[in-house]
């Protein structure tokens, strides 16, 4: 009798296994950046499905700006402007600026990342004070670091005691990790952060949102962009509700505290950094936890000196 039970439950499991496995695979393939894998090896002159989507990706993260008189804004041709955009991207990520979608470039581009653009309003790199010089010879050898938003928005000196609140319905598990991330920034700066119950009146407002949620920066489902935040003094920090998050570092899930540490950097006025170990580096890998890096501390000190 027991043996029959065992056999029937085993065969049930065997039936289920391929289903579980294929749904896990489907999850992975659902990353909105997955299409870039199909463009490996592409360069100027190529015309293939996926190039238009890549143009949208490059526009979204600040590398490309077409206007109504641009010839190839809405087609699948890898044009001059896209080549320039890919070169700038490669320089920002310390790769050889070939303009070709080599495997290193594709691998970086498909990583999950913060939704905040690397380049905002034509600042030509993630480094501060470098405008329009992405052709400068030797720029590959310079040491990249932190950046700011255009015009260096920051909190005024009468707003160094900031309050934060969570939109009602925020998962309880997120509250401790976010508080720890604020504590880390508080110990490295002159800011203090206090949680308040009234979300509407808080200086910093934290929420889990999905897809288009009314702030002009829609999320994109599982994978792709996983969180974003706004420059001072807007105060909005959103996690993408469609991602898997975890309290401790867990394979396949994004570490809540690490993501918060990055997004709080934006709330305080930091842009993205070229330093891969910095919390302000744009990509955020699942299962990984990071702390504040010297580069982040130098950046915030330079902004508020
Ligand atoms: C890109 O163009 C080259 C020729 O310059 C060609 O050999 C290659 O197959 C093209 N790749 C794609 C994906 O169209
Ligand atoms: C549109 O883009 C082209 C480059 O493709 C540039 O030369 C031109 O100045 C731009 N026009 C406007 C109105 O921004
Ligand atoms: C970028 O420029 C536009 C138009 O000039 C402006 O409305 C927007 O606030 C700027 N964004 C930032 C982050 O400075
Ligand atoms: Zn970011
Ligand atoms: Zn948002």
189-246: pLDDT as tens digits? 999 999 999 999 999 999 999 999 999 999 999 999 999 999 999 999 999 999 999 9
Domain 34-110 = CATH 3.40.190.10: no
Residues near ion ligand 4 (CB < 5 Å) are 114, 116
Instruction: Collapse the DSSP code of 195 into the 3-class scheme (helix H, G, I; strand E, B; otherwise coil) and give the result.
Output: strand
Q: How far is the CA of 92 from the centre of ligand 1 (A)?
A: 26
Question: Which ligand 2 atom is at minimum distance from the Cα of 67?
Answer: 1
What whole-number percentage of the chain has pLDDT above 70? 84
- Give the lowest-confidence range in 30-34, 130-134, 242-246: 130-134
Q: What are phi and psi of 57, to 5 degrees?
A: -60, -45
Closest-lying ligand 3 atom to the alpha carbon of residue 149: 13
In the chain, DSSP finds a helix count (H) and a strand count (E) of 7, 7
Rounded distance, CA 260 to CA 254, Å? 10
Taking the CA of residue 78 as reference, the ligand 1 atom at the shortest distance is 1
Residue with the bigger pLDDT between 126 and 305: it is 305
Residue 192 Cβ contacting ligand 3 at under 6 Å: no
Nearest ligand 1 atom to alpha carbon 39: 13
Best substitution site from 58, 66, 70 to test ligand 2's pocket, by max atoms within 8 Å of Cβ? 70
**Exposed, middle or buried, 230 (CB in 10 Å: 0-12/13-18/19+)?**
buried
Q: Ligand 3 centre from 19 Cα, in Å?
A: 48
pLDDT-based confidence at residue 70 (cuts at 50, 70, 90): confident
Ligand 3 pocket test target in 148, 150, 234 with most atoms within 8 Å of CB: 150
- Give residue limits of the domains in the chain: 34-110, 157-303
Report which bound ligand comes closest to the CA of 49: 1
pLDDT-above-90 percentage for the chain: 80
Ligand nearest to the CA of 237: 5
pLDDT-wise least confident of 46-50, 52-56, 63-67, 266-270: 63-67
Whole-number pLDDT of residue 126: 76
More confident residue, 27 or 156: 156
State the CB neighbour count (10 A cutoff) for residue 242. Answer: 17
Residue 146 in contact with ligand 3 by CB distance below 6 A? no
Distance, in Å, from the CA atom of 254 to the CA atom of 283, rounded to the nearest integer, reads: 11
Q: Is 150 in the pocket of ligand 3 (CB under 6 A)?
A: yes
**Which pLDDT does position 19 carry in this prediction?**
39
- State yes or no: pLDDT of 272 exceeds 90: yes
How many whole angstroms from 79 Cα to the centroid of ligand 1?
Answer: 13
Q: What is the C-alpha to C-alpha distance for residues 167 and 176, in angstroms, rounded to an integer?
A: 15
- Residue 270 Cα to chain centre, angstroms: 13
Structure confidence at residue 14 (pLDDT)? 43
User: What's the Cα-to-Cα distance from 19 to each of 24, 28, 52, 223, 252, rounded to whole Å?
Assistant: 9, 15, 34, 21, 19
Rounded mean pLDDT, 10-37: 58
Quick one: pLDDT at residue 246?
98
Q: Which phi and psi (to 5°) does residue 163 adopt?
A: -105, 155
CA–centroid distance, residue 66 to ligand 2 (Å):
8
CATH, domain 157-303, list 2.60.40.10, 3.40.50.2300, 3.65.10.10, 3.40.390.10: 3.40.390.10
Pocket of ligand 1 contains residue 46 by CB under 6 Å: yes
> With 90 as the cut, is the pLDDT of residue 121 above it?
no
Cα 246 to averaged position of ligand 5 atoms, centre (Å): 20
Question: What is residue 67's predicted lDDT score, i.e. its pLDDT?
Answer: 86
The whole-chain average pLDDT of the chain stands at: 88
For residue 125, what pLDDT is reported? 65
Show which residues are catalytic.
263
């Amino acid at each position: 009798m027991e043996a029959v039970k065992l056999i029937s439950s085993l065969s049930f499991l065997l039936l289920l296994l391929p289903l579980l496995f294929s749904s896990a695979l489907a999850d992975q393939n659902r990353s909105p950046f997955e299409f870039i894998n199909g463009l490996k090896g592409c360069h100027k002159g190529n015309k293939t499905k996926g190039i238009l989507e890549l143009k949208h990706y490059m526009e979204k993260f600040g590398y490309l700006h077409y206007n109504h008189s641009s010839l190839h804004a809405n087609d699948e041709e890898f044009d001059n402007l896209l080549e320039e955009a890919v070169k700038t991207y490669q320089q920002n990520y310390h790769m050889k600026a070939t303009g070709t979608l080599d495997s290193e470039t594709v691998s970086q581009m498909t990583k999950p990342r913060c939704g905040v653009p690397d380049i905002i309003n034509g600042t030509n790199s993630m480094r501060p004070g470098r405008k329009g010089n992405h052709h400068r010879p030797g720029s590959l050898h310079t040491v990249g670091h932190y950046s700011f938003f255009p015009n260096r928005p920051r909190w005024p000196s009468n707003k160094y005691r900031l309050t934060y609140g969570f939109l009602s319905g925020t998962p309880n598990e997120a509250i401790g990790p976010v508080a720890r991330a604020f504590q880390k920034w508080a110990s490295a700066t002159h800011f203090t952060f206090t949680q308040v119950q009234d979300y509407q009146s808080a200086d910093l407002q934290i929420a889990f949102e999905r897809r288009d949620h009314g702030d002009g920066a829609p999320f994109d489902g599982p994978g792709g962009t996983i969180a974003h935040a706004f420059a001072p003094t807007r105060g909005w920090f959103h996690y993408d509700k469609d991602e898997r998050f975890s309290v401790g570092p867990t394979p396949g899930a994004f570490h809540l505290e690490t993501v918060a540490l990055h997004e709080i950097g934006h709330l305080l006025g930091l842009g993205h950094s070229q330093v891969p170990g910095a919390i302000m580096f744009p990509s955020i890998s699942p299962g990984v936890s990071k702390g504040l890096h010297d580069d982040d501390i130098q950046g915030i000190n330079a902004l508020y000196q």
